A and B are shown apart, each in its own frame.
Chain A
Amino acid sequence: MGLFSKLFKGPEIDMEKSDANAKKMRALFNQVVEDGDSYRLIFGYTEDVSRFNYGFVHGSKTKIGNLIVGWNAASQTIVVVPTVPDLSGCGDPTYYRRSEILKAYRNKYPTDAFIIYPDKKGYIAINAYDWLEDEKLYVYVSQDAELAAFTDFFMNRFATK
């Protein structure tokens, strides 16, 4: 029982590392967003999948963009800040206010991403999970409760359909 339960237990989350990264996410977010503490945060990412066919060589390339996603339920605003897996820095924030966006909904296929169209010209698809183990590609953070709260906010107070 002991050996097999250890073998099949699966990966365990390093909560110390996760907590440290959650603090870094908060610090970065507050650095670039005014009144940052009024937003709750999750980690999300975007995927840019491009397919190629160079004669007999074909396949696909995926680029991952890490994001700190903040939301303020009172003002119905989502703020997205691009970052990198080690959280050494971040880009400028983009604000998506419900009153200003074109539409927002949760995708069903191929991924259950959160989709926001600020206008007709483009959109952002935010993927988010409880925890992603690959820290070279994603921010290492465990966020069950925050993700549940964000999903609830998005579906019930932000989505337009």
Chain B
Amino acid sequence: MPFGEIGAFLLVLVAVFLFGNLWFHFVETILNRIKKLFTRRKEPPTWHMLSPDEEDRKNG
């Protein structure tokens, strides 16, 4: 197989890969927006930060 044909085939593969990635991110963005519409009123879970005092005491 000549190098030109191999190069063309690789280019097609790259194009398919790029289009696949774009399509994936496009669908994901739409799905995330739809999910956000339904979870807007939900309160975020409580989060506790590691207190520096506690950390120092344990390390000390």
| Chain A contact residues, CB within 8 Å of chain B | 20, 23-24, 26-28, 30-32, 52, 54-57, 82, 87-92
Name A19's closest neighbour in chain B (CB-CB).
B59
Assess the A31–B50 pair: CB atoms within 8 A: yes
Interface of A is mostly: mixed
Residues of A within 8 A of B38 (CB): none
* Contact code string B19-50 (vs A, CB < 8 Å = 1, else 0): 01101100100000000000000000111111
Give Cα A60–Cα B47 distance, bound, in whole angstroms.
Answer: 28
Residues from chain A with Cβ under 8 Å of B5 in the complex: none
Query: Which of A57, A82, A90 has most chain B Cβ within 10 Å?
Result: A57
25 CB < 8 A contacts A-B: A20-B59, A23-B58, A24-B50, A24-B55, A27-B50, A27-B51, A27-B55, A28-B48, A28-B50, A31-B50, A31-B51, A52-B24, A54-B23, A54-B24, A56-B20, A57-B27, A82-B45, A88-B50, A89-B47, A89-B50, A90-B47, A90-B50, A91-B45, A91-B46, A92-B48
Taking a contact as CB atoms under 8 Å apart, the answer to whether A31 and B54 are in contact is yes
Taking the closest CB of chain B, its distance from the CB of A25, in whole angstroms, is 10
Which one of A26, A32, A52, A82 contacts B58 once the chains associate, using CB atoms below 8 Å? A26
| Contact between chains at A31 and B48 (CB < 8 Å) | yes
With a cutoff of 8 Å between Cβ atoms, the chain A residues found around residue B45 in the complex are 82, 91-92
Residues of chain A contacted by B55 (CB below 8 angstroms): 23-24, 27
Nearest chain A residue, comparing its CB with the CB of B57: A27
Q: How far is the CA of A56 from the CA of B55 in the complex (A)?
A: 50
Q: Which of B23, B50, B51, B57 is the one whose CB lies under 8 Å from A55?
A: B23
